[in-house]
Structure 1
């Protein structure tokens, strides 16, 4: 048996089967306006947006080591930019969503230069402080409702579509598209050379630096890109809600705590983890939401048990037991099958 008999590949049978099933599921989800009710579409739209936020936070924390507790800054920023550009700039909501992402990237650059001076817990606290600065700043803008917030004018809402059913379908498709775009971009990025460098930084930052990897630049790129996409997701969130206020836009519970819960439960540092975590979170929320504060207590207990019993999350348990990778990133060496003796 020689080295030529071995095969080096990234794909696997499980990944190919998952790709086929994922394509079929995507077709079914695209057709949801013809088979799902309005309430179901709103729920699925919210699920897709949380999946996008969780995937972006996972890219930062799970791969770049940037544990932020202030990403609600860019969720709220994107929402307020949407309202400002449509109400005062006369832009179509779809154009405003794209511009919100661009402005989010521009704003994140000086923010990154500032908070990258901090490390560990100080970095996490710094991101939260930045989010509070954003909240207090937007609360002072009287044209956008100040501390009480503002609603999106009817004329702007109808610019998406004249009929309510079509507007809800468009909002649903935008949320689905955002989730597919974010997961796809994260997957392709991690398979690139920059993604390989990011994985090296995650595994051993000192060793990565000794190999010539520019750690600061890699983290800066990830922070700016995730902030831009988070701002776009924030614009989509408040386009669906049709109303915005500082407390809702910059809520640490809604846009950071729940997102961290999703990633921790599913499996940090994996692409599959946020998908599984989002499904688990919404299953718990829909089952226990009527219990009031008990619902939050249960979420906390689940998170504590998972961190103690399975620090790598649900997908970490599955992968360690069955060696499955639905989104293969690295190369694998496959040994040839032994020949049967005559």
Structure 2
């Protein structure tokens, strides 16, 4: 019996990922402005999907209020740049501050279970929206622009935002990968499957869930700050809209809940549908809802979950793979 943490597919995938990352780094040298802007949006979508999957897919914490952290990430960036700090430094600082704020939030939110947690997060996001509206700097729903970006030329701004989004996505995915392969990641998935059983073998559910909650909050806030940078304007009702969480849920459910590859695949599919059919108006939203419903009915594990089940392919293994286990081996045990 052998226990492996990688396979032939994952080794090839690693080579492809490295080559793709290098290609994306040098892409601005010859890509058009429109391509860079669209790829920036894709990177942010992948971050949002991966962070929601961190909570719900790997931790069993279904939230419909992640727009709280997305909105706070954008709002805090506005506030920090108003102090005269570079907007690109402000993006990182804002994500860190929101991550710190999520610590006390997690203390009482994680006491809620299942549907109570989901609704509680939505209520908290609504409260955050109202509080941000009270800030005179924001001017209510009128909003404000990230005027600090005007110190850069349009070309430099576009390049910096593209690279910031690419590096942020890469760092968060890499961090999530190693966290899931750590003892904390294994503990979190055990809590998701059966919290009482995990607690009985010495796992501290509250502490583990808290760290995952903070990580997801930090990543979502970073996505919000990056979206603000590429959109350049901030309106509370836009950034604190539950629509953002609906997009995250769609990407993860369609791609594959609880699968590392699933969130990325879901984000790619959502990005493609948005790019091709966004001009269809309300029918675009109807189409998204129909796809989500069909996937829930016929592909409950998502597209990647179905591929993984039928073909046994795992490109990014975050668990253990047991090989060479036979009936004779079990009898000898």
Smaller-chain TM-score range? over 0.9
1:193 aligns with 2:183: yes
1:14 aligns with 2:3: no
1:285 paired residue number: 274
- Residue deviations 1:147-202 (CA, integer Å, cap 9, x gap): 2100122xx2144xx43212101111111111111111110000011111111112
1:182 paired residue number: 172
1:98 paired residue number: 92
Secondary structure of 1:110's match?
helix
Which of the numbers 282, 289, 308 marks the counterpart of 1:319?
308
Runs (4+) off by over 4 Å: none
How many residues of Structure 1 are paired with residues of Structure 2 in the alignment?
325
Secondary structure of 2:322's match?
strand
Which sections of structure 1, spanning at least 5 residues, go unmatched?
1-5, 337-342
1:245 aligns with 2:235: yes
Larger CA Rg, structure 1 vs 2: 1
How far apart are residue 240 of structure 1 and its match? 1.3
Which of the numbers 230, 242, 249 marks the counterpart of 1:260?
249
Q: In structure 2, how many angstroms separate the alpha carbons of the residues matched to 1:226 and 1:258?
A: 16
Q: In structure 2, how many angstroms separate the alpha carbons of the residues matched to 1:307 and 1:135?
A: 31
How far apart are residue 116 of structure 1 and its match? 2.1
Secondary structure of 1:31's match?
helix
1:157 paired residue number: 149
Which of the numbers 22, 29, 33 marks the counterpart of 1:27?
22
1:217 aligns with 2:196: no
2:107 paired residue number: 113
Q: In the alignment, is the contact (CA less than 8 A) between 1:140 and 1:147 conserved in 2?
A: no
2:43 paired residue number: 48
Q: In structure 2, how many angstroms separate the alpha carbons of the residues matched to 1:132 and 1:295?
A: 26
Q: 1:114 to 1:333 in 2, by over 3 A?
A: closer
Q: In the alignment, is the contact (CA less than 8 A) between 1:76 and 1:250 conserved in 2?
A: yes
Which of the numbers 57, 68, 71 marks the counterpart of 2:66?
71
Which sections of structure 2, spanning at least 5 residues, go unmatched?
326-333
Q: In the alignment, is the contact (CA less than 8 A) between 1:108 and 1:227 conserved in 2?
A: yes
Task: Let me know the Cα RMSD of the aligned residues.
Answer: 1.4
TM-score by length of 1: 0.92
Correspondence 1:136-175 to 2 at 5 A: 136-153=130-147, 156-159=148-151, 162-175=152-165
Q: In structure 1, how many angstroms separate the alpha carbons of the residues matched to 2:43 and 2:31?
A: 15
